[in-house]
Amino acid sequence: MRVRIGSSVWLGPAVDLRAAELAVSGQQVAKAVHRSEAIGEISVQCTPPDAFGRELIHIHSDRSISKSRLLALAARSRGLRAPQDEQRLEIERQLREEPPRSVDTAPLRERIATLGEEITELRERVMRLQGALSAMRTGDSEDEQRVRSTLSETVRRLSELETEREAVRQQLEQARTTNRRRRDEHDERLRLEDNAANLRRAANEWLTSRMSGAYARALHTAPDVASRTVRVALAIVRVGECASPVVIEADAFDSSMAARNWLDTPVIQL
């Protein structure tokens, strides 16, 4: 591990910054550890934290601790897997699949309504033209030819609109089918999400139970500090496997090396 603050550099698995009188906070140092890159004048070159390390990257008295969740992460950091994991992972894989998008049917319904009005008008016009043509059948006059031409064009246009309306009706039915399927899949996703949450809780309970003995022993031997939150966090770090540094902003150990030896993980002490 290499810690740099301004022009000062510290090397090794245990770094104690308490005597350095630096104007930095534990939160700033923890942020540099989390990102594994320079944050202003602070940089920490180290093993990037995993899920367990990220949760316990900064230990101080003002933070909150979810003991059962963190003990489950500690168990996973040591390679333990819960019996529920396989089923939960399969459900989560299904949930990552994109559901069908809903289709806005309003434009299709509006188009069908508009076409219906146009078709009705054209049908009425066809009937009027047919009536006019019947009344004019006295010969092959110029007026009769004009009416025949208009009637033919009107019938052609009517056929086009009827064909278009049928196509739009089919699109509307397909859209409604898609939306019904989406609603069904939405309900199924809710069920799967509930199942995944239940499996996750059951897995955490199983993993926590496997760590309870080791955690109780670690808590019993943890440094005697005023903050129980700090003691709990330190005990959880001790029972887990953490390759990334832990930033301790509490007077829990006489030295950073003592902290490193008890926790068995790299330590930055503030």
- The CB density around residue 8, as the number of other CB atoms within 10 Å, is 11
Structure tokens at 269: 């002490």
Q: Which pLDDT score is estimated for 118?
A: 93
CB 99, CB 182: distance < 8 Å: yes
CA 155 – CA 62 distance, rounded (Å): 82
- The values of phi and psi at residue 246, to 5°, are -110, 130
Mean pLDDT value of segment 248-270: 93
H, E, C per residue of 75-98? HHHCCCCCCCHHHHHHHHHHHHCC
CA 131 – CA 205 distance, rounded (Å): 85
Q: Which pLDDT score is estimated for 56?
A: 93
Q: Which pLDDT score is estimated for 187?
A: 87
Structure tokens at 246: 């832990």
- The CB density around residue 44, as the number of other CB atoms within 10 Å, is 27
- The values of phi and psi at residue 183, to 5°, are -65, -40
Q: In what order do the strands lie in the sheet with 2-5?
A: 8-11, 2-5, 42-45
Band (140; pLDDT cuts 50, 70, 90): low
CA 29 – CA 57 distance, rounded (Å): 10
Q: Which pLDDT score is estimated for 143?
A: 77
Q: Which pLDDT score is estimated for 137?
A: 66
Which one, of 257, 208, 256, 250, lies nearest residue 233 by Cα? 250
Q: Give me the amino acid identity at 113.
A: A
Q: Of the given ranges (1-15, 89-103, 224-238, 245-259), which has the lowest mean pLDDT? A: 89-103
CA 8 – CA 132 distance, rounded (Å): 102
- Higher pLDDT, residue 143 or 87: 87
CB 161, CB 119: distance < 8 Å: yes
Which one, of 75, 23, 61, lies nearest residue 230 by Cα? 61
Band (138; pLDDT cuts 50, 70, 90): low
**DSSP H or E run through 249:** none
Token match 């770094």: residue? Answer: 15
CA 188 – CA 94 distance, rounded (Å): 11
Band (131; pLDDT cuts 50, 70, 90): confident
Mean pLDDT value of segment 253-260: 93
- Higher pLDDT, residue 242 or 37: 242
For the chain, the maximum distance between any two Cα atoms, rounded to a whole number of angstroms, is 121
Would you kindly state where each structural domain of the chain is located, as residue ranges?
Answer: 2-86+210-269, 106-196
Q: Which pLDDT score is estimated for 112?
A: 92
Mean pLDDT value of segment 81-110: 89
Structure tokens at 73: 């992460």
Structure tokens at 171: 């699109």
Q: Of the given ranges (32-46, 102-116, 195-209, 246-260), which has the lowest mean pLDDT? A: 32-46
